[in-house]
Structure 1
Amino acid sequence: MANIFSNQEAQSLSSNIQNLWNKLLTSSYNEIELQNCGIVSFPNHSLSKNFSDLNVVNADDNLIKALPSSFFNHKNLRSAFLSNNQLDDLSADFNKLTKLALLTLDSNYISDMWPLGLCRNLVMLSLKDNQVKSIPWSFSSLEKLEILSLDGNKISTLPDIAFSSPELQIFSAASNQLESISNAITKLRKLKVIILSQNELSQFPYALGDITSLEQLNLASNNLKQLPESIAKLDNLKYLHLEDNEIQNIPTNIHQCSSLQFINLSKNELSYLPNKFSELRNLEVLVMDDNQFTIFPEQVLECPNLKIISMKNNPFSEDLLKENMPDRILDSHNIQLFL
C-alpha cells in the first residue's frame, strides 16, 4: 500500500504542476512565481506568445536541472531567481537575455560560469554555494555589475577580471579557498563592502588600503598575523571584522580610521592596544573576546561614543581586573561591559 500511495501522490503532484502550466500558458503575465513547486523543468516549447512582457521569474527551491532554449526567448526578462535547484550546466544562450539585470543561482551545482559573462547588463549576480573554481575571462564584459556574491565555492585566487566592473559596490567571496587577491581591486572606486571571511589568506591584502570608499570589511576566519599601516587610509570604514585570526598587534595609526563604529577582534592573540585607540570617536562596539589581555586597556574608555565592550575569556583574574578597572566604567550607564 505504501508504494501505491507514493505513486498516487506523485501523480497528483504531476497533475497539479501540469494544471499550473496550463493556467500559465493561457494567461498573460509579466511575473511568474513558481518557488517551491516541485518543478523538474520548464516547458520545452516557447512561452513567448503568452509572456512577451515577462520581467521576473522566481523558480527558487525546485528540482530544475536545465534551462530549455525557450527560457531564453524572453527578451524583456530583467530578474531571474533560480536558487536551490539542480542546475549544473549553463547555456551560451544567456547572451540573448540582453535586459537581464538580476540573477540568483545560489545552491546549485554550477562549476563553469563563463556564459554569465555574456549578460552584459547584469547589475546583481549571486552564485553562492556552487562548485565554481575560477573566474572566467568572460566576466571582463560585466561592466555594470554592482553586486557579486561567490560565497561557498572552491575559488583559490581572484584574478584581475574579477574586478572588471567599475560599478562594483559589494563583493563577497566568503568560504572559499582564497590565498590572494589581485591588486586590480584598487581600481574599484565605488566599492563599499568586501567580505572574504573563511578563506586561507595569510597576509592582509595590502591593496585594500587603497580602496578609500570601503565601508565594511570582513576578513574573519583567515590566517592573518598582522595588519599593515595602510589600513589607516580607510577613513570611510565603519565595520571591521577580523575575528578568528592570529593577529598580535594593531597598527598605531588605527585611529585614522575615523569612521569606525564596530570592530570585532575576537579570537586573536592581542595583549594590548595602541594608546591612540582612544581617538576612535565614532566607535560604538568593540569585541575582543578570547585574546591575551592581562590588563584592561583603559584607553578604550576615552572613546566618546563607545556603548559596548566585550572581553570575555581573556587571561586576567578577577582581582587583577578589579585593580585595573576604573570605577567609572563599572558605574557607567552608557557602556555595557561583558567580561
Structure 2
Amino acid sequence: MGVACGSRHQRMKSLNLSNMALIGRIPRDFGNLTFLVCLDLGSNNFHGNLPQEMTCLCRLKFLDLSFNNFRGDVPSWFGFLRKLQVQNLRNNTFTGSIPSFSNMSTLQTLNLAFNSLEGHIPVSLSNASRLETLELSYNSLQGNIPEWISSLHNMNSLGLEYTQLVGSIPFTIFNISRIEVIAFTGNSLSGSLLNGLCNGLPILKGFYLSINKLRVHMPTSISNCSQLQILSLSKNEFDGPIHSEIGRLSNLQILELGANHFTGIIPQEIGNLVNLAKLGMEDNQITGSVPISIFNISSLQVVTVAEQS
C-alpha cells in the first residue's frame, strides 16, 4: 500500500492499492479524494460498475484499474477527467462501445485491451493529439482501421490485435515517424503492403501482422526499418520470393514468415541477421536447401522450415 499527501495541504495526492487481493466495489466516498493525482487499484478483485462520484477526481492524471472484474460500459464521464494522462482499464469485463474521449486532450496512454467492447473505434480519439499508446487488443470491434489514426503524430505503440477488424491497412499509418510497435495480429485485414511502407518508420521495432488475409509480395522496402527486432507475417497469403534485402535488418531477433505462399529459395543473406533468435518459414513453397550461413548465427535458438508444399 502506498499513500502520498501534499506537503502544503496534507491532502491525499497518490493512492496505490495494487496487488493486495482486495475484493468488493469501489466506495462512492472515493469521490471525496478531490486532490488525488494518482490512483492505482490494479491487480485486485474489484467488481461492479465504476461509481459516478469518480467524476469529482478532476485532478487525476494516472488511473490504473487493470486486472480486476469491473463490468458495464466504460463510463462516458471519463471525459470530465480532463487532466488524465494514463488510463489503464485492461483485463476487465467492460462491455458496450468505446465512449467519446473528445475532451481528454492530455491523454497519453489508453489501454482497454482484454475486455468485451464492441462497435467502431470512435473518431473522437483523433482529438487526443498527445496519445502515445493506444491498446485496444482482444475486443470485439467492428469496421476498418480508421484513417485518422495517422493524425496521432506522437503515437509510439498501436495495438489492435484480435479485434475482428477488416479491410486494408491505411497506408498513412506508415508515416507515423515516432511509432515503435504496430500490432495487428489476428484480424481479417486484407489487401497488400505497398512498397515504401517503411520509409516513414525510422524507429519501428515490432511489426505484428500474423493471422490476417494480407497478400501479394513482401515489399523490399521492409529493409528500411533498420531498428526492426520482430517481424511477424505468418499465416497470411503472401507469395513471391523472400527478398535478399531482408538480410539488412541487423537488429532482427524474430522472423516469422510461416504458412504463406512464399516461393523460391531461402536467401543466404539471412545469415547476416546476427541477432536472430527465432526463424519460422514452415508451410510455404520454398525450394532448395537451408543456407549454411544461417547456422553460423550464434544467437539462433529456433528454426522451422519443414512442411514445404
Q: Shorter-chain TM-score category?
A: 0.7 to 0.9
More helix by share: 1
C-alpha separation in 1, matches of 2:145 and 2:25: 34
**1:80·1:104 contact (CA, 8 Å) conserved in 2?**
yes
* AA aligned opposite 2:211: K
1:143 aligns with 2:87: no
Q: How much does 1:113 deviate?
A: 3.8
Task: Classify the secondary structure of the residue corresponding to 1:154.
Answer: strand
Out of 249-258 and 199-208, give the one that drifted further. Answer: 249-258
Q: Which of 158, 163, 181 is residue 217 of structure 1 equivalent to?
A: 158
1:265 aligns with 2:209: yes
Corresponding residue of 2:105: 166
Corresponding residue of 1:65: none
Q: How much does 1:338 deviate?
A: 0.7
C-alpha separation in 1, matches of 2:272 and 2:16: 55
Deviation above 6 Å: which 4+ runs of structure 1? none
C-alpha separation in 1, matches of 2:219 and 2:123: 29
Q: Cα gap change, 1:336/1:88 in structure 2, threshold over 3 Å: closer, same or farther? A: closer
**2:58·2:80 contact (CA, 8 Å) conserved in 1?**
yes
* AA aligned opposite 2:58: R
1:311 aligns with 2:252: no
Q: Deviations over 1:279-314 (max 9, x none)?
A: 223323212233334544316516444423422532
CA RMSD for the aligned pairs? 2.8
C-alpha separation in 1, matches of 2:260 and 2:154: 37
**2:247·2:270 contact (CA, 8 Å) conserved in 1?**
no
Q: Cα gap change, 1:295/1:306 in structure 2, threshold over 3 Å: closer, same or farther? A: farther
C-alpha separation in 2, matches of 1:243 and 1:300: 24
Q: Cα gap change, 1:300/1:246 in structure 2, threshold over 3 Å: closer, same or farther? A: farther
Q: Which of 207, 217, 233 is residue 288 of structure 1 equivalent to?
A: 233
Q: How much does 1:242 deviate?
A: 1.2
* AA aligned opposite 2:147: Y
Where does the alignment leave 5 or more consecutive residues of structure 2 unmatched?
A: 281-309
* AA aligned opposite 2:23: Q
C-alpha separation in 2, matches of 1:203 and 1:264: 17
Q: How does 1:72-87 map to 2 (within 5 A)?
A: 75-81=11-17, 84-87=21-24
C-alpha separation in 2, matches of 1:295 and 1:76: 61
Q: Which of 270, 291, 304 is residue 329 of structure 1 equivalent to?
A: 270
Q: Deviations over 1:42-93 (max 9, x none)?
A: xxxxxxxxxxxx637xxxxxxxxxxxxxxxxx833521416642223531x3
Where does the alignment leave 5 or more consecutive residues of structure 1 unmatched?
A: 1-31, 34-53, 57-73
Q: Deviations over 1:78-111 (max 9, x none)?
A: 21416642223531x3332122122123431131
More strand by share: 2
Q: How much does 1:335 deviate?
A: 4.4
TM-score by length of structure 1 reads 0.68
Q: How much does 1:252 deviate?
A: 4.2
Out of 196-205 and 323-332, give the one that drifted further. Answer: 323-332
Corresponding residue of 2:31: 95
Q: Which of 124, 133, 142 is residue 193 of structure 1 equivalent to?
A: 133
Q: Cα gap change, 1:89/1:252 in structure 2, threshold over 3 Å: closer, same or farther? A: same
C-alpha separation in 1, matches of 2:12 and 2:202: 45
1:178 aligns with 2:118: yes
Q: Cα gap change, 1:233/1:328 in structure 2, threshold over 3 Å: closer, same or farther? A: closer
Q: How much does 1:194 deviate?
A: 0.8
Q: Which of 104, 128, 152 is residue 40 of structure 2 equivalent to?
A: 104
C-alpha separation in 2, matches of 1:124 and 1:329: 44
Q: Cα gap change, 1:75/1:335 in structure 2, threshold over 3 Å: closer, same or farther? A: closer
C-alpha separation in 1, matches of 2:154 and 2:165: 23
C-alpha separation in 1, matches of 2:187 and 2:76: 32
Out of 304-313 and 148-157, give the one that drifted further. Answer: 304-313
1:241 aligns with 2:183: yes
